Amino acid sequence: MKTIGIGLAGFGTVGSGVWNILRDNGGLIEDRTGNTFRCAITKIAIRDLQKATAAGAPESLCTTDLLSMVEDENVDMIVELIGGTTAAFDLIAAALKAGKHVVTGNKALLAERGNELFPLAKKHNSAIHFEAAVAGGIPIIQSVKDSLVGNKIESMVGIINGTSNYILERMTLAGLNYQDALQEAKDLGYAEADPTLDVNGWDAAHKAILLTSLAHGFLIDSETVYVRGIERVRSIDIQFANELGYVIKQLCVMRTNDDGTVELRAQPSFIPKSHILSNVNGVFNAIALKGDAVGDALFYGRGAGQLPTGSAVIADIIEVGRALATDNNRGFQPYCETSNLVDIDETETPYYVRFNVEDRPGVVAEIASSLAAEGLGISGMHSPINPDNPDASFVDMVFLLHTCKFGLLRQTLQKVEALDCVNERPAVFRIESFN
């Protein structure tokens, strides 16, 4: 039975999980792959030798020299789990140039520098596998790449960041404010010490970029993608959403329009309580996918964690093992040279807009007339009194707007924001219908 050597870069939470799964389930994996090959970790590259050995890494396999794995003839594939976009890029680029396949969970690297790495893989007949980069243990990458290969993907709408989903759930169900919910997520280990990428939307957006590239075949410049996070969600927004029959979720929307253009965005949105994604809570992830042949499908599971993410890495390792055993390269390669992403300003939905305004007569009419002058239809308006401070000089005022292009909304809000009665930049949430 052929042995496939693995060079494992990183032995943190996920890296040690990969080691444990191969140790505990190695025999089962060999049986399921027909006993034609076995995968074994032959070298581990780490920064802190003492920390890695304390976590169970055999000292005899460890090195602090990342690139030495590429040169090692006993290493057939590289598994990159160190994160970041510098050292990880150098390692993956070197491996691809050496003709070695790569498994990675590094969503930020692939989303931001995939336009360099995927062509490099093609040039050197190597491959990049990245199941662990999107939605943890949910097998969405393999499903889109293989199981749904006969489908045109019409839409993928997902909750793919567990930290932001947990925070919004606690704000909704426990009545916590944003800062208290974020602190609770940190205390429970659901949020990093620096949660920036989780709460500003970019962790989810990186995953959405990869899924969109996979479904439509073109690479995406991350700078062209509209991304907003949950930092400006307030209790009043949660309250209004509930009263209107919605919940607020950090949502990634990937949709094919009738003209063939592709819509991609990530932002907190109002979604109907009747939709299945409204019941995705805690740190779980879910992706509602629609294909022209398969119809509607839902992928649900743990979006992070040692063993769920390790499970995704193992799936890619076995995929590479099969490729090496049969000399068949099955990694993803872009097949469209040009992107057809629709400009965010051309996208359309209804909107919820919250203004913080001076509490004086005439403000409602002033804002309403400014919106109407630009052709924006108002479907509802409300200005609640803050029970904690009923005598406040500034109050929140909410407008519900009919469907319009986002570009028109942005232009109009810039004018409204300049009014003397408006205290700060308006908070905007899309209202999704999923039609």
In order along the chain (435 residues), what is the average pLDDT of each group of 10 residues? 90 89 89 86 89 84 92 94 92 95 93 93 93 88 89 94 94 94 90 89 94 91 94 93 94 92 95 94 93 94 83 89 76 78 94 90 88 92 62 82 96 92 92 85
R_g (Cα) of the chain, nearest Å: 24
b/e map of 104-116 (b: 16 or more CB within 10 Å)? bbbbbbbbbbbee
- The C-alpha atoms of residue 332 and residue 96 are separated, in whole angstroms, by 14
pLDDT at 2: 85
Catalytic: which of 43, 100, 107, 207?
Answer: 207
CA atoms within 13 A on the CB side of 64: 6
CB 396 within 8 A of CB 353: no
CB 88 within 8 A of CB 94: no
Identify the structural domains of the chain with CATH numbers, from first to last: 2-136+306-326 (3.40.50.720), 141-302 (3.30.360.10), 344-431 (3.30.70.260)
Picking from 220, 195, 235, 246, the residue whose alpha carbon sits closest to that of residue 400 is 246
Is-catalytic flag, 405? Answer: no
pLDDT at 172: 94
* Strand, helix or coil for residue 73: coil
pLDDT at 127: 92
Residue 421 one-letter amino acid: C
CB 112 within 8 A of CB 219: no
pLDDT at 389: 54
pLDDT at 329: 65
CB 153 within 8 A of CB 291: yes
